Amino acid sequence: MSERKLNFFAGPSVLPEEVLAELKDQIGEYQDNGFSMIEASHRGPAFDTMYHECLDLFRELLGIPENYSVFFLGGGATLQFSMIPMNFLGAGQTADYLKTGTWSNGACNDAQKLGNVKVLFDGKDSNYSTLPAPESVTPDADAAYLYLCSNETIGGIEWQGWPETGNVPLIADMSSDILSRPVPVEKFAMIYGGVQKNLGPAGATFVILRDDMLERSPANLTSYLNYNTHAKKDGLFNTPPVFSIWAVKLVLEWVKAHGGAQGMAERATRKANLLYNAIDSLDSVFYSPVDARYRSKMNVVFRLRDEELEKQFLKETAAMGMLGLKGHRSVGGCRASIYNSLPEESVAVLADYMKEFARKNG
Ligand SMILES: *Cc1c(COP(=O)(O)O)cnc(C)c1O
């Protein structure tokens, strides 16, 4: 086997080596059953046991209260951009959105096609490099919900605190920072995200939904698009993304063994500090384009002051086995995605190389 690369891809992204080893070991036969997990009926006991262990662990690690349903859907996080307004934005109501980058903008644009939307914040003028202070965000008292994206994966900005929304349901896309830190789940009516950033391979979207929200879904929605369908069937209305869920379960076990959400937060802070310290201390060559107060600990976005040098930096790091450092095609620059599963050593190698590169070219 060739040497493992340093994987800074934004998603799908790096998984713990222990999880890959376990999947490899069990892919042919799952726990002496005579069949693989990916050959098992989703109505059978092998899947059922694994599935409920996965859900229980997710609840435990995030501290999800009893009055929330948890399930996995298909369609990516993107399908939720539609399902949220379809279920929760009634006729004559208005939903409040915070437009802070590519992903919340996408969700807002879809909601606008389905109902009335009010944009409480739009980061356009700052090129989506900053966030509103949480205490400055006040949804309308009768808003259907307030929507935000906790970590803008492309822009590299991350909420560090949460708006107080009173009785207005708070809904968050946490695709790219779920379980990278503790979250007060009880402040949110719904948290959702694709698993392929921080929890596992692509194919599943997790939905954490407070049960009282289910009363809002209109009865005329088709079955898959109505959250009630999934909540009532414990997420097994139709075939769930079995392989992803199995891998997520293994990742959750790994997270638990490494200190849970708190352990992940400490790890994320150490890793992010290594890179931001390098960027800040090498400022004749590198800079961070985002508001320092909201720097993401999952997606470290940075630029080089010289475009030619930036190309050279990306070329040299790629040659050294550091993958995925080119920024998203919509914004350019560089981005190191340093999700939970990325080893601290990988980040140290990158930070060291930034220093060497600056010494040679600064
Ligand atoms: C990746 C991402 C999405 C889109 O996820 P898909 O599963 O590809 O639909 C949405 N929101 C955020 C924050 C993301 O990082």
Question: Which DSSP string corresponds to 240-300?
Answer: --HHHHHHHHHHHHHHHHTTHHHHHHHHHHHHHHHHHHHHHHTTTTEE--S-GGGB-SSEE
Q: Of these residues, 173, 177, 249, 271, which one is catalytic?
A: 173
Tell me how far the alpha carbon of residue 1 lies from the centroid of ligand 1, in angstroms: 31
173 is catalytic: yes
SS3 content of the chain, % helix, strand, coil (to 5): 45, 15, 40
Euclidean distance between CA atoms 71 and 87, whole angstroms:
16
One pLDDT digit (tens) per residue for the chain, 362 residues: 788 999 999 999 999 999 999 999 999 999 999 999 999 999 999 999 999 999 999 999 999 999 999 999 999 999 999 999 999 999 999 999 999 999 999 999 999 999 999 999 999 999 999 999 999 999 999 999 999 999 999 999 999 999 999 999 999 999 999 999 999 999 999 999 999 999 999 999 999 999 999 999 999 999 999 999 999 999 999 999 999 999 999 999 999 999 999 999 999 999 999 999 999 999 999 999 999 999 999 999 999 999 999 999 999 999 999 999 999 888 889 999 999 999 999 999 999 999 999 999 98
Tell me whether residue 245 is in a domain: yes
Tell me how far the alpha carbon of residue 333 lies from the centroid of ligand 1, in angstroms: 20
Q: Which of 176, 199, 296, 338 to mutate to test the pocket of ligand 1 (most atoms within 8 A of CB)?
A: 176
Question: Which DSSP string corresponds to 81-140?
Answer: HHHHHHHH--TT-EEEEEE-SHHHHHHHHHHHHHSEEEEEEEGGGGTT-----GGG----
CATH number at residue 103: 3.40.640.10
Can you tell me whether residue 166 is helix, strand or coil? Answer: coil
CATH number at residue 321: 3.90.1150.10
Protein residue with its CA nearest to atom 8 in ligand 1: 76
Domain boundary among 213, 234, 257: 257
| 85 and 188 housed in the same domain | yes
Q: Give the pLDDT score at 329.
A: 86
Asked if 301 and 334 count as a contact pair (C-beta separation under 8 A), the reply is yes
Helix (H) or strand (E) holding 201: none
Domain boundary among 210, 234, 257: 257
